[in-house]
Amino acid sequence: MLLNRLHVLPFLLLVAASVRAQDPQSQPPVWAGKPDAAAFEKAENDRLKIAQSSVDEIVALKVSRTIENTLKPFDEAIRQLNAAIRFAYLMQNVHPDANFRDHTTEMFRKASAAQTALSLNRDVYRAIAELDLSASDAVTRYYVQRQLLAFRLAGVDKDDATRARLKLLNDQLDEQKSTFERNIADDQRTIEVTGDSELEGLPRDFIERHKPGPDGKIRIATDDADYFPVMKYARNDELRRRWFATYVTQGYPQNRGVLQNMMQRRYEIATLLGYSSWADYNAADKMILSGRNISDFIQQLDVAARPAMQREFTELLAEKRKTHPEAKEIWDYDGSLYEEDIRRSKYNFDSQSVRPYFPYNEVKQGVLDMAAKLFHLSFRNLPNVPSWDPSVETWEVSDGGKVIGRFYLDMHPRPGKLNSGAMTAPIFRGIRGKQMPEAVLICNFPKPAATDPGLMEYDNVVTFFHEFGHLMHFILAQQPWAGISGLSMEFDFIEVPSQMLEEWMRSPEVLASFAKHYQTGEPIPAELVWRMNRAAAFGRAGETASQTALTAISYDIYKGKPADVNLDTVCVDDMRRYTLGSLVPETAHLYAGFSHLSDYSSAYYTYLWDRVIAEDFFQQFDKKNLLGGDTPMRYRRVVLEPGGSMSANDLVKNFLGRPYNTVAFGHWLEEESETSATIGSKVK
């Protein structure tokens, strides 16, 4: 017991410093004390105690309400609850020890319950509503306005019985969300390959990483590092089919019942608060405002994408018939392969031709260098900083020589870690003069080794910069209040900055600055990038259609009564309605591994909604000098740094000088056919 106590104590001292410190520069890295499960729980509980103490301070006050005696302690409660929830969520997704993850799941539920209790605390609501804001600045007034709306959407103004029911429902929902995501992270599957002939078409470095085991079988895991190469390059139809069916059913069947329970809880919450559906309720504090507007947006996307999607499908089927003359359909496991074939035959571009220019370590440095120039920042790696896994790197962010934030790179697959996709996981929001922002970039990219450079797919390079855009947005959005710092703006604006940054990865000049051949050191040729961009535009309409289908699924399961929803039917019907490919039976269960049905719920439309805004934003930059001129810094000041201190609609107007429109998105969507027409006219 003494040894355990000595192990826990340093971490608790560090937590106390980070919890109470008023000087962000003294804030220790989040894992500096190497906590075990007991130390982690103690730190989490300390934050919850401070939050509750701040709430008690507000409620006990008998004098007139002021910013100092009411809003400040309220914001402190928000700060502590947010940190407790985000830290637990992070550890639930990345900690290598299953027993530790069990503790984090429980603490996530506990912290979320405390947050729900605060949102339903009528005394605190009344205290905030009584504030005299006449002498306050615009940022503070907006914060209070947003918070009062959040209180009402939580049901704080309902009777005692209703509020008690809402609290119970939200606590149950938080538990189910945590279980849903944990089930996906824990469901790590493999498929077995019995011979090299099944791996035909796959890159040599992929084959070298997948040696046969003692039984002579090759095992391929359901993580992104394996998924993309198999779907894009494997010529063996049965391998792709088995792999797709395995990948698409992660979390099934265990998440079927969990999702149904989430749907029921959310429906009851919405109806108790006077909304006809969760989709309507969930849209009320977002840019889109209503479920009906989500439905209309889905139809607009379908109309916009369908002509180009049909052209692409015709080409894909013709390409497949070169090797399968009797083919009458494109299966959902076919698309990526035949897109690659068309890129080779029509555009003289092979995705494998660019992989040698994207070894992981050079891509990482390139992303850092590019972000430093774009945002006028500098980054410094901190060696020997403890973390939850030895592969995790710790970095400081400085602005004009002053450290303003910290981030962690957790970039490669491993057992127990969230094994698909990529995400930015905030830990601490940046609060001016009080707290340094910290966040983690979680990815599943190939891990380099002595004999393996960890060559990346181009799509993964784009994903890297996309997620780094989230990181920069989170770190730069430092406001005086926790409640409006970080990514606290309307939820359906969050993807705009990161999606816009994807365009930087299409620039020959930007890519040449870091994309060097891992054997020769030769920069990627501009002509190769030009062919890549032409080829990459092919399939864009089909990808938009697939995203539209997923958007429709997320809306359709939350737009009405859960009892009327058959999850399998919704998935199959929406995929058939908005895409043209044929579906393997397992597609009916894709909801089980569709993690955004937990966090985004009915708001998956955010990705395409924000793509529209992102393409409009991108038109403001100098295409000949994406990292230079005045626009990058204006963008940082006007769009990123305000965080949630004003409406996202105002952020858009302030940067564009007008509301956004769909003109740029339309050109982006049709870029392949427009480019092809231009090329055709030149040939003639």
Domain borders along the chain are 2-119+121-154, 187-248, 267-354+541-604, 356-523+607-683
Judged against a pLDDT cut of 50, whether residue 111 lies above it is answered with yes
Can 267-354+541-604 and 356-523+607-683 be said to share one CATH topology? yes
Q: DSSP labels for 581-620?
A: SB--GGGGGGGGG-THHHHTGGGTTHHHHHHHHHHHHHTT
Judged against a pLDDT cut of 70, whether residue 343 lies above it is answered with yes
The pLDDT value given to residue 415 = 86
Judged against a pLDDT cut of 90, whether residue 420 lies above it is answered with no
Confidence of residue 664 (pLDDT cuts 50, 70, 90): very high
Judged against a pLDDT cut of 80, whether residue 38 lies above it is answered with yes
Closest CA to 202 of 386, 351, 12, 68: 351
Judged against a pLDDT cut of 90, whether residue 513 lies above it is answered with yes
Mean pLDDT of 83-108: 93
The pLDDT value given to residue 156 = 96
Judged against a pLDDT cut of 60, whether residue 11 lies above it is answered with no
The residue to which tokens 């994408």 are assigned:
305
The pLDDT value given to residue 186 = 87
The pLDDT value given to residue 222 = 79
Q: Burial letters for 262-279: b for 16+ Cβ neighbours within 10 Å, e otherwise?
A: bbbbbbbbbebbebebbb
Mean pLDDT of 38-50: 96
* 630-660 residue pLDDT tens: 999 999 999 999 999 999 999 999 999 999 9
Judged against a pLDDT cut of 70, whether residue 672 lies above it is answered with no
Q: Burial letters for 240-255: b for 16+ Cβ neighbours within 10 Å, e otherwise?
A: bbbbbbbbbbbbbeeb
Contact between 428 and 477 (Cβ < 8 Å) = no
The pLDDT value given to residue 183 = 92
CA–centroid distance for 434 within its chain: 27
User: Strands 218-221, 393-399: parallel, antiparallel or unpaired by DSSP?
Assistant: unpaired
Mean pLDDT of 19-43: 85
Give residues with Cβ within 8 angstroms of 87, minimum separation 6.
Answer: 30, 43, 44, 427
Distance CA 566, CA 193 (A): 34
Q: Residue 66 has what DSSP assignment? A: -
Average pLDDT along the chain: 92
Distance CA 198, CA 201 (A): 9
Judged against a pLDDT cut of 80, whether residue 675 lies above it is answered with no
Mean pLDDT of 610-636: 95
CATH architecture of the domain formed by 356-523+607-683: Orthogonal Bundle (1.10)
Q: Bigger pLDDT: 216 or 127?
A: 127
The pLDDT value given to residue 418 = 80
The pLDDT value given to residue 128 = 97
Q: Bigger pLDDT: 240 or 14?
A: 240
For the CA atoms of 56, 61, 66, 70, what is the dihedral angle to 10 degrees?
A: 0
In CATH terms, is domain 2-119+121-154 a member of 3.40.1410.10?
no
What CATH number does the domain located at 267-354+541-604 have?
A: 1.10.1370.10
Distance CA 661, CA 84 (A): 39
Mean pLDDT of 489-507: 94
Confidence of residue 137 (pLDDT cuts 50, 70, 90): very high
The pLDDT value given to residue 302 = 95
Mean pLDDT of 190-208: 87
pTM for this predicted structure: 0.87
Q: Residue 27 has what DSSP assignment? A: P
Give residues with Cβ within 8 angstroms of 485, minimum separation 6.
Answer: 429, 430, 431, 437, 477, 478, 479, 643, 644
Distance CA 181, CA 89 (A): 10
Closest CA to 504 of 625, 400, 596, 646: 625
The pLDDT value given to residue 416 = 84
Confidence of residue 19 (pLDDT cuts 50, 70, 90): low
Closest CA to 220 of 236, 205, 238, 207: 207
Mean pLDDT of 402-409: 97
Judged against a pLDDT cut of 90, whether residue 680 lies above it is answered with no
Mean pLDDT of 17-31: 74
